[in-house]
Structure 1
Amino acid sequence: MLLASDTQLNQKSYYEASVQRAPVGPPLRGELNADVLVVGAGFAGLSAAIELAQRGYQVVVLEADRVCSGASGRNGGQAIVGFSGGQAPFDQQLGQAHARLAWDMTVEGLAMIDERVKAFQIDCDHVKGYLYLADSRRKARALEAELTTLERDYGFVTELVKGADVQRHIQSPRYCAAAFERQSGHLHPLKYGLGLARAAKALGVQIFEHSAVLAIKRGSRLMARTGAGVVTAKFGVLAGNCTLAEYGPAVAPDITPRIMPVGTYIIGTAPLAPGLCRRLIPSNASACDNNFILDYFRFSADHRMLFGGRVSYTTRTPAHLQDTLARRMGEVFPALRQVPIDFVWGGFVDISMNRAPDFGRLGDNLYYLQGFSGHGVALTGLAGRVVAQAVAGQAERFDVFAKLQHRKFPGGPLLRRPSLVLGMLYHRLRDAL
């Protein structure tokens, strides 16, 4: 399969090792009728299912693997305001008013996490606080320029520090500038996702695992076929992201060329002394630098450093992955150079060409949500809400995203991956400057 290495790499996941999953239920068998079919039981699909069920719709969710087995259960756990590609696509294509509306909806996406944690009693180690980091003067200037624009146009306030003052926020020799804010933060993504699944089931949503959608017949009523069953529904929501084409190449061939699966990887150390954690990142914030090929990291609730980065555009797990990430972690935090590594895992996130989310319709009744580009922890919740509003006939907010123009990745099926690998090498050289 296209992402076969993805399954193998998740066998040493800290997230999977630190939760107790419910026993897997039977896959879909036979025929079902529903108001709405949701394809994919990650954050976006579960969020849509919850919002739809709360509006009185009968919802069926079909998941090819297990709940949150993809990016939703493997990511860095960083819930971040804004978009991976910044505000430029919205400003340039839609104008300032709609760009501001899109920004405000990302803030709403963060607030939704708070709401759902409280309403559904989800214990997911949710912590507020985020650090934006720069490791060169050039990148420090870029960070300051971006944050100045966000404060001027969107009211987004951060505490920006430079030079020796950076050490107040992070004890690392690597960074020359840092900005701190408390809207964003971090959580245990798999605990959160499993909590969303429990909430959806309590609202009457039917979730079937190991029930990959192989084909969808479009029309006034949609007919989705799995290996052993069929779901017929008035509306559909495609939330399978980069795995959609792997399991059902014929489901939506018109949209899958607009996203690319990119591998991203994380190591988890053995538990560290709490005092050391407080010294290295006093605020317990999550952190990320502003390189194109970035590092991101945070401490878990049991005081492990979870350090991620290093991307792959080839769908092959990079060689010597654990050693590479451990070396990178040691460059950021010399105090962690000799600590044992207990976990190494990763998976694939879906990126779009402009790093902006790609939401839209296929016909009148089949919606899709994809292209979260590494900012999905918060944006997927918002995506579920706006697609539910669209199904219910209130599409104004959904259409802010649907109006964005997205391009296919260049090169076609044979050449687009080599093109991206060359592009990655170019950006890696720029990051080193």
Structure 2
Amino acid sequence: MAYPPSYYAATANDAPPPAPLQGDITADVCIVGAGYTGLSAALHLAERGYRVVVLEAERIGWGASGRNGGQLGIGQRKDQRSLEERLGRDWAHRLWELGVESNALVKELIARHNIQCDLKPGLLHAAWKKGDAEWFRSEVDHMASEYGYTAMRYVPREEMREMVATDCYHGGILDEDGAHLHPLNYALGLARAARAAGVVIHEESRVTEISRTDPALVKTAKGTVKASHVILACNAYLGMLEPRVAGMIMPINNFILATEPLGDDARKLIRDDVCIQDTKFVIDYYRLSADGRLLFGGGESYSPNLPKDLAAFVRKPMLRVVPQLENRRIDYAWSGAVAITLKRMPHFGRLEPNIVFAHGYSGQGINIATLGGKLVAEAVAGQAERFDIMAKLKTPRFPGGTWLRYPGLVAGMVFYAMKDRLP
């Protein structure tokens, strides 16, 4: 089965052909889903000596892990001051420490396993409104004084215009620990490392049922895995496999395009080759690829149905930011689903003593999902203290539950999209 068309699929490193599960096998741990969470969990468990089987319904990195904007953040999805107000200073500090580790873990795995994924440094947060720039300035001071974090600096409006060829922004924060990469090649690299450590990965092996027994029996159309532990790592593609947690996450579609190679104009567009994300609720995020294309994510859709012309759909917000690309060709356009939570923080937990899950990264998946896999592996191994820091986060169910959650999402997204357009 081929990957959905995208720039990432077209430039993916070689991957072995899929080997669907055939027959009945046993393992210490069965992981459902071969995205960042599942692959990271598999690798860390195999390094501890566990026999691990990964079942993937489609291909490795099929979902958001292989289609996202490629931006590697630091910290959690919510800013630290919001977490302090909501959770208290001590808990916010523990979450920050995990967030810092998540960024470092991705870089360490890439270096240790020689993953070729075009890793480049620098993430620029761009202030869409004047008030956002004022908040940025105070955020830099707060992170330095409260957390000792000095890798970010405030960028005034004049310098923003030098760094990015647009007049849209009122200021920004440059985070030197942020980075960007080729997300599908990162996932494929994790899979290669996991296989080298002894993990067995079966693609095109959709799980249809998981028994609530010990050991658990994980069923596919053509086989079963009997395992002492099960890890659910499906994120936006969970569907109704596990109704007990499906209503806590909402799959939403994101859209990205890739222009033709821009040649010398690429670095005129983004001077320092950093990745950029703005402060709108429906954010724009963009960066340069290794071959000098602009990869731009943006646009808003409040329906599970995709726009008929994805390129035209994303081109509109792109030209609002960089109108000088009006005559440039669009070579690729694609979509993918991410899982959000109401609080925009990830959802970790246990469904049975031997069934754990992690999902709902809300757009912060490269670093937090990679760390999530490591924390899930620790929990399976009986060291759940760090996993519990995340699992203690309260994740409310979306109003309307699994089936009726979309009307509420539409109303909320329309409201915040209107706020994006106000001064």
State if a TM-score over 0.5 links the two structures.
yes
1:88 positional shift: 5.8
1:45 counterpart residue number: 38
Q: Give distance in 1, aligned partners of 2:228 and 2:336.
A: 33
- The yes-or-no answer on 1:341 pairing with 2:335 is no
1:378 positional shift: 0.8
1:113 counterpart residue number: 106
Q: Give distance in 2, aligned partners of 1:220 and 1:37.
A: 13
Q: Which amino acid aligns with 2:372?
A: A
- The yes-or-no answer on 1:160 pairing with 2:154 is yes
Q: Which amino acid aligns with 2:231?
A: V
1:292 counterpart residue number: 281
Q: Which amino acid aligns with 1:174?
A: C
Q: Give distance in 1, aligned partners of 2:199 and 2:402.
A: 37
Secondary structure, counterpart of 1:160 in structure 2: strand
1:195 counterpart residue number: 189
- The yes-or-no answer on 1:55 pairing with 2:45 is no
Q: Give distance in 1, aligned partners of 2:417 and 2:87.
A: 31
- The yes-or-no answer on 1:151 pairing with 2:144 is yes
Q: Give distance in 1, aligned partners of 2:85 and 2:217.
A: 38
Q: Which amino acid aligns with 1:314?
A: S
1:319 positional shift: 4.3
TM superposition outliers: structure 1 runs of 4+ over 6 Å: none
Comparing 142-151 and 221-230, the one that deviates more: 142-151
Q: Give distance in 2, aligned partners of 1:413 and 1:58.
A: 34
Matches within 5 A, 1:1-400: 11-87=4-80, 90-92=83-85, 94-157=87-150, 158-245=152-239, 249=240, 251-273=241-263, 275-400=264-389
Secondary structure, counterpart of 1:420 in structure 2: helix
- Structure 1's unaligned 5+ residue stretches are 1-6
1:413 positional shift: 4.1
Q: Give distance in 1, aligned partners of 2:238 and 2:302.
A: 17
Q: Give distance in 1, aligned partners of 2:252 and 2:141.
A: 30
Q: Which amino acid aligns with 1:35?
A: D
Contact 2:215 2:228 in 1 (8 A): yes
Contact 1:90 1:404 in 2 (8 A): no
Comparing 275-284 and 311-320, the one that deviates more: 311-320
Q: Which amino acid aligns with 2:368?
A: L
Q: Which amino acid aligns with 1:38?
A: I
Secondary structure, counterpart of 1:61 in structure 2: strand
Secondary structure, counterpart of 1:262 in structure 2: strand
Question: Deviation string for 1:359-394 (max 9, x for gaps)?
Answer: 111121111010111000111111111111111111
Identity across aligned pairs (percent)?
A: 41
Contact 2:299 2:317 in 1 (8 A): no
Q: Which amino acid aligns with 2:242?
A: A
Q: Give distance in 1, aligned partners of 2:402 and 2:215.
A: 31
Secondary structure, counterpart of 1:22 in structure 2: coil
Secondary structure, counterpart of 2:217 in structure 1: strand
Contact 2:76 2:95 in 1 (8 A): no
- Structure 2's unaligned 5+ residue stretches are none
1:145 positional shift: 4.1
Structure 1 residues 263 and 94: CA distance shift in structure 2, 3 A: same
Q: Give distance in 2, aligned partners of 1:414 and 1:360.
A: 22
Q: Give distance in 2, aligned partners of 1:241 and 1:318.
A: 23
1:84 positional shift: 2.0
RMSD: 1.8
- Structure 2 residue aligned with 1:403, among 372, 392, 408? 392
Contact 1:261 1:313 in 2 (8 A): no
Question: Deviation string for 1:46-94 (max 9, x for gaps)?
Answer: 0000000000000000000000011100000001012223336743554
Q: Which amino acid aligns with 2:254?
A: T
1:299 positional shift: 0.1
Q: Which amino acid aligns with 1:253?
A: P
Q: Give distance in 2, aligned partners of 1:100 and 1:113.
A: 20
Secondary structure, counterpart of 1:16 in structure 2: helix
Structure 1 residues 146 and 321: CA distance shift in structure 2, 3 A: farther
Q: Give distance in 2, aligned partners of 1:144 and 1:107.
A: 21
Q: Give distance in 1, aligned partners of 2:380 and 2:85.
A: 28
Q: Give distance in 1, aligned partners of 2:119 and 2:44.
A: 21
Comparing 24-33 and 186-195, the one that deviates more: 24-33
1:121 positional shift: 1.0
1:23 positional shift: 4.1
1:330 positional shift: 1.9
Give the structure-2-normalised TM-score: 0.95
Secondary structure, counterpart of 2:244 in structure 1: coil
Q: Which amino acid aligns with 2:345?
A: A
Secondary structure, counterpart of 2:315 in structure 1: helix
1:202 positional shift: 0.7
Q: Which amino acid aligns with 2:132?
A: K
Q: Which amino acid aligns with 2:163?
A: H
1:427 positional shift: 0.5
Contact 2:35 2:62 in 1 (8 A): yes
1:20 positional shift: 4.2
- The yes-or-no answer on 1:430 pairing with 2:422 is no
Contact 1:291 1:431 in 2 (8 A): yes
1:188 positional shift: 0.2
Contact 1:355 1:373 in 2 (8 A): yes
Q: Give distance in 1, aligned partners of 2:83 and 2:350.
A: 19
